């Protein structure tokens, strides 16, 4: 059956201007880091994508190495775009990145012109697209001149293979330097993607969050739920279907110390007082002051997407709520 998008898809979602660009991002974007690899079912992935789009999520975020296996998330999204959502390509923002380990040898990662442009070509083949909307350098490279990496992003845009340039995991110092280079190149740079959550405030601590808001750089936050710690799933042990039980690479059992569990319990109580789940409150907190353009969510079930979108009309906090949240988290930032 041919997929037909929900006619009301743009009614509830809110969209925010991304930096000084003409692009607006949905307040909630779909991240494809997990659940879109070679071990996922096509029907499940299709349902996640169509559910997201039906709710107004127009931005799907990828990277060259998302899987497992590396590259498989792009391949799977390429199939879904071609088979199910081709008619809506111009309503979608598809982003991808390069910079982490992708293939063997000295050119398979980091920030050389060779790696970035070769990786983009590979990504476009896997996605079966002529261009991506945003192409990111995925991480800072201490051994490659910043000018070389930024000139590669500029080349990606000016060749028509990407519409906008972005950076990911860049601190404030390197963001400022990158923005200067790209401005001189007249390259449409619009966004930095950083980890940000109640439990990880490094983007505030290094000053990037406020700087970006003042200087026309969009911010999209990943891992807003701290790999699942900012949910209620670990309050009574480790479920068999949880990320710790299934994977354990990014969140380990020893991260859930007694002190951390007490913090989660305290935050969960605040969320209940707001009429939200802990996950919903954590997402609302990221968007609370308008300095973050969009928050990336992952999902294994369509119901999770719909539940998370209930935050759209509830992102404000009282001063007392913010003070209480700080009391349960600011000393244990990870």
pLDDT tens figures, 145-201: 999 999 999 999 999 999 999 999 999 999 999 999 999 999 999 999 999 999 999
pLDDT digits (tens, 9 = 90+) for 276-302: 999 999 999 999 999 999 999 999 999
Query: pLDDT at position 334, please?
Result: 44
What pLDDT does residue 235 have?
83
Q: Is the pLDDT of residue 311 over 60?
A: yes
* 16 contacts 213 by C-beta, under 8 angstroms: no
Measured distance CA(84)–CA(60) in Å, rounded:
15
Q: Is the pLDDT of residue 218 over 90?
A: yes
Joined together, the tokens standing for residue 277 give 């789940």
pLDDT at 61: 98
Q: What is the model's pLDDT at position 258? A: 86
* Distance, CA of 9 to CA of 263 (rounded, Å): 36
Q: Where are the alpha helices (DSSP H) in the chain?
A: 42-54, 72-83, 113-127, 146-158, 172-184, 202-205, 208-214, 243-246, 258-273, 278-286, 302-308, 319-327
pLDDT score at 256: 79
At 244 the pLDDT is 57
- Domain 15-230+280-313 indexed as CATH 3.30.300.30: no
First to last CA, the chain: 46
pLDDT band, very low/low/confident/very high, at 333 (cuts 50, 70, 90) = very low
Spatial CB neighbours of 189, under 8 Å, sequence gap ≥ 6: 153, 164, 165, 166, 167, 178, 179, 182, 183, 217
- Predicted confidence at residue 63, as pLDDT, reads 98
Residue 91 scores a pLDDT above 70: yes
Please provide the average confidence, as pLDDT, over all residues in the chain: 94
Give the mean pLDDT of 128-156.
Answer: 98
Q: What per-residue confidence (pLDDT) applies to 239?
A: 59
pLDDT for 234 equals: 83
Task: Please spell the DSSP secondary structure of 73-103, one letter per residue.
Answer: HHHHHHHHHHHTSGGGGGG-EEEEEE-S--S
54: phi then psi, degrees, rounded to nearest 5: -60, -25
% of the chain at pLDDT higher than 70 = 93
Predicted confidence band of residue 246 (pLDDT cuts 50, 70, 90): low
pLDDT digits (tens, 9 = 90+) for 38-51: 999 999 999 999 99
Q: Which helix (H) or strand (E) holds 290?
A: none
What average pLDDT score do residues 97-120 get? 98
Percent of the chain with pLDDT over 90: 88
pLDDT of 131 > 90? The answer is yes
* Burial category of 267 from C-beta neighbours within 10 Å (exposed 0-12, middle 13-18, buried 19 and up): buried
Backbone CA torsion sign across 16, 14, 36, 196: positive
Average pLDDT score over residue span 229-254: 68
pTM for the whole thing?
A: 0.94
From the number of C-beta atoms within 10 Å of its C-beta (0-12, 13-18, 19+), residue 324 rates as: middle
């Amino acid at each position: 059956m041919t997929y037909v998008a929900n006619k009301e898809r743009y009614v509830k979602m809110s969209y925010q201007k991304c930096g000084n660009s003409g692009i607006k991002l949905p307040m909630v974007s779909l991240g494809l880091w997990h659940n879109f690899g070679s071990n996922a079912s096509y029907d499940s992935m299709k349902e996640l994508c169509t559910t997201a789009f039906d709710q107004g999520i127009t931005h799907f975020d990828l990277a060259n190495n998302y899987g497992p296996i590396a590259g498989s998330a792009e391949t799977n999204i390429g199939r879904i775009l071609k088979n199910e959502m081709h008619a809506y390509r111009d309503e979608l923002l598809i982003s991808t990145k390069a910079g982490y380990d992708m293939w063997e040898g000295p050119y398979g990662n980091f920030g050389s012109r060779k790696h970035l442009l070769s990786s983009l070509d590979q990504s476009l083949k896997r996605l079966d697209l002529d261009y991506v909307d945003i192409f990111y350098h995925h991480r800072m490279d201490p051994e490659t001149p910043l000018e070389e990496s930024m000139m590669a992003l500029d080349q990606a845009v000016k060749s028509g293979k990407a519409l906008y340039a972005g950076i990911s995991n860049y601190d404030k110092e390197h963001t400022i330097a990158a923005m200067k280079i790209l401005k001189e190149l007249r390259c449409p740079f619009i966004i930095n993607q950083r980890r940000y959550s109640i439990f990880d405030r490094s983007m505030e601590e290094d000053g990037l969050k406020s700087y970006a808001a003042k200087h026309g750089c969009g911010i999209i936050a990943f891992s807003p739920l701290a790999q699942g710690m900012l949910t209620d799933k670990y309050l009574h042990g480790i479920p068999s279907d949880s990320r710790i039980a299934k994977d354990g690479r990014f969140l380990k059992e020893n991260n859930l110390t007694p002190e951390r569990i007490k913090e989660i319990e305290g935050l969960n109580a605040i969320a209940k007082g707001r009429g939200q789940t802990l996950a919903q409150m954590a997402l609302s907190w990221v968007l609370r002051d308008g300095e973050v353009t969009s928050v990336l969510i992952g999902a294994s079930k369509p119901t999770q997407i719909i539940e998370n979108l209930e935050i759209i009309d509830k992102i404000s906090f009282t001063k007392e709520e913010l003070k209480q949240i700080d009391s349960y988290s600011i000393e244990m930032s990870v």
